[in-house]
Chains A and B, each alone.
Chain A
Amino acid sequence: MLDDFMMRATLAGVGVALAAAPLGCFVVWRRMAYFGDATAHAAILGVALSLALSISVFAGAMVIALLMALTVNLLTGRGYAMDTLLGVLAHSALAFGLVAVSFLSGIRIDLMAYLFGDILAVSRMDLAVIWGGAALVVGLISWRWSPLLTATLNEDLAHASGINPKREQLVLTLALAITVAVAIKVVGVLLIAAMLIIPAAAARPLSRTPESMALVAAGIGSVSALVGLRAAYIFDTPAGPSIVCVAAVIFAVLSIAGSVRTSTQ
């Protein structure tokens, strides 16, 4: 079964969609969309470093994504607005990454594969890493679900319940770094944030509780991966962007349906 490259691609896409859904909900609720973007951009520097040091791309991307996220956490509230700080760090990391890649003499690397993903080239090993990472992210977020939700609502409310919001923020940061690292191969650095945000946003009009929103987002993400890959195969379009396009269409349809329903009530 895993010998078929389409089968491996589908499994990879669904794996990323499942990890991105609950995390993406928190990214949307906490207005961290740009934060996800910045972490993903920084990962390209990780890719360059891991190629230079001959270590696994997954490990390199994850370490740099994590460092990036921790730096942002540390620097917020010290003089610069969050978006300024993220803009400086994300694009510097991306630029340094691209420059570093050009120094790698002797190795021809296909940068496009990391910017836009190369889901059709997913190996069995990649699949194991993706599903392992996804299981870790889903496990981490399910374990901390209630404290995370409380801290997202209000930090003082969390303190009064004996929850440390800083620690919960760290859990999210860690989950984000893992997701970015496993999703690079599937949708690439530039479209990771799309897989986080679009399914979660699309799920909002259908949801009455946070839990149902996360489940619906997982469903929408998985359907996007399945349909997007199929469409890419039929129309010979790039796979990663096709997945994101399907998610975007679902978002548009559900948003319009949601606003029509609200206005007729």
Chain B
Amino acid sequence: MSLVQVENLSVRYGAKTVLSHVSLTVEHGEIVTIVGPNGSGKTSLLRSIIGAVKPSRGRVTQSSDLRVGYVPQRLHIDPTLPMTVARFLALPGGVSAPHLGEALAQAGVPDLSGAQMSRLSGGQFQRVLLARALIGKPQLLLLDEATQGLDQPGSAAFYRQIETVRRDTGCAVLMISHELHVVMSASDRVICLNGHVCCEGTPEVVASAPEYRALFGSGTMGALALYRHDHDHAHDHDHHYDHTEAAE
């Protein structure tokens, strides 16, 4: 069965409806990306999957004993709260030392366990968040704009890390991203959201859908160009940045 099944979900904040009649499923091992303009309900959708938002209609069903790893959009740690990376990773359940090292290595930051969270750079911080999400050996990884505040090489590297994690652990990934040109190529499936599901399918199908073009306009062409570029030619991944910059 699916890892997560969202059926006919509606979410309201007071009088404002942010999501109406959204249905989607996430299957084992697939990378699904949610794209959509600001205020389209992307974060609300993710928050209702983790149970932080109560649906006003419809329901969210998780497969039994589903292990979820969640990387929030941003995390502010108050400067009065002392916190080492190792302590942060052990919250709330506790973790063994080898397990901790493994998660940090998977997230690409093997040497940080003794550092203070407040001293990390933006990129290191996001990877530590990813490591924490990986601690529980999740079957489903939820990422809410996990590369916010990173520069383009930084976020491209971050998404490559996600693909590596998926390859190594087999977990499914459901993520929100603004960086269409980066995530389109990495996704198995794209869901275009604007309060409701506008269109969904493989990246190529979505990128050429009229609903998607209506929402994202000319930016779409760049994304599509890069997408095709990535897949039509044999290429060296090390030159990825060059391609990205050239496409803009």
Contacts and interface: CB of A to CB of B under 8 A. Distances in A.
Interface of A: 28-31, 146-147, 149-150, 152-161, 163, 201, 204, 207-213
Nearest to B117: A153
B202 interface: no
Top-7 shortest CB links A-B: A160-B70, A159-B52, A146-B92, A150-B92, A160-B50, A207-B82, A29-B81
Given A208-B82, A210-B87, A156 B92 contact: no
Contacts of A213: 82
A208 B114 CA distance: 10
Nearest to B51: A159
Nearest to A144: B92
B240 to A, nearest CB: 31
Contacts of B1: none
Interface of A is mostly: helix
A210 to B, nearest CB: 6
Given A155-B52, A160-B50, A210-B87, A201 B80 contact: yes
A209 B82 contact: yes
A149 B78 CA distance: 12
B82 A210 contact: yes
Tell me if B's interface is mostly helix, strand, loop or mixed: loop
A208 B92 contact: no
Nearest to B81: A29
Interface residues of B, number: 25
Given A146-B93, A150-B91, A208-B116, A156 B80 contact: no
A30 B75 CA distance: 14
Contacts of A207: 82
Given A153-B77, A160-B70, 10 more contacts: A29-B81, A31-B78, A150-B91, A153-B75, A153-B91, A157-B70, A159-B51, A163-B92, A208-B82, A209-B84
B29 interface: no
B126 to A, nearest CB: 14
B47 interface: yes
Given A31-B78, A152-B81, A160-B142, A209 B50 contact: no
A40 B70 CA distance: 38
A157 B82 contact: no
Nearest to A203: B82
Interface string B61-85: 0000000111010011110111110
B176 to A, nearest CB: 13
Nearest to A159: B52
Interface in B169-225: none
Nearest to B47: A156
Contact of A29 (B80, B87, B91, B116): B80
Contacts of B77: 153
Nearest to A147: B92
Given A147-B92, A157-B72, A204 B52 contact: no
Nearest to A30: B78
Interface in B89-120: 91-94, 116
Contacts of B51: 159-160
A157 B73 CA distance: 10
Contacts of A204: 80, 82
Contacts of A157: 70, 72, 75
A209 B89 CA distance: 12
A155 B51 CA distance: 11
A206 to B, nearest CB: 9
B174 to A, nearest CB: 12
A71 to B, nearest CB: 21
